[in-house]
């Protein structure tokens, strides 16, 4: 009487699983399957799976994204600062110049007032 429970493979499928995987069969299924050891995946444990390296790649991508965002924000703020500074310098000079004229005019007016 066939069951749906898995059983270890016999000699016929001894080399079915690769990289140390354990072969099992379910009598009602046409082909065996593998239970892979750590760091291997795939139907026959043929693919190397390194979770630590995939996590490291994600961490590196995140760090690079943060660094790029920080650089772009700094660059934009720097550009805005210099654009604003460029606009304010002529205004500051003209205001200082006008104040100088007023003071000069006031001084000379004051001097002429003292002379009289």
CA 100 from centroid of its chain's CA atoms:
53
Predicted confidence at residue 74, as pLDDT, reads 93
Angle at 109 between CA 107 and CA 115, to 5 degrees: 105
**pLDDT in single tens digits along all 116 residues of the chain:** 455 788 898 888 888 999 999 999 988 888 899 999 988 999 999 999 776 655 667 778 888 889 999 999 999 998 888 888 766 555 555 555 555 555 555 444 455 455 55
CA-to-CA separations, 111 to 13, 27, 98, 106, 115, in angstroms, rounded? 115, 117, 19, 8, 6
Q: Which residue has the tokens 């499928």?
A: 13
Predicted confidence at residue 54, as pLDDT, reads 59
What is the bridge-based pairing of β-strands 22-25 and 7-8? antiparallel
The radius of gyration computed from the CA coordinates of the chain, to the nearest angstrom, equals 41
Tokens coding 19: 């990289």
With beta carbons less than 8 A apart as the criterion, state whether 28 and 9 touch.
Answer: no
Q: Three-state DSSP class for 93? A: helix
- This prediction's pTM: 0.40
Predicted confidence at residue 40, as pLDDT, reads 92
Predicted confidence at residue 36, as pLDDT, reads 94
Q: Cα(80)–Cα(72) distance, rounded to whole angstroms?
A: 12
């Amino acid at each position: 009487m066939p069951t749906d429970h898995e059983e270890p493979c016999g000699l016929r499928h001894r080399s079915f699983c690769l990289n140390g995987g354990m072969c099992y069969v379910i009598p009602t299924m046409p082909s065996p399957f593998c239970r892979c050891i750590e760091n291997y995946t795939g139907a026959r444990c043929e693919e190397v799976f390194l979770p630590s390296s995939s996590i490291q790649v994600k961490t590196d991508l995140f760090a690079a994204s943060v660094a790029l965002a920080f650089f772009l924000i700094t660059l934009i703020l720097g550009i805005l600062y210099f654009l604003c500074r460029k606009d304010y310098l002529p205004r500051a000079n003209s205001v200082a110049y006008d104040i100088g004229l007023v003071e000069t005019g006031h001084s000379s007016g004051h001097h002429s007032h003292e002379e009289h």
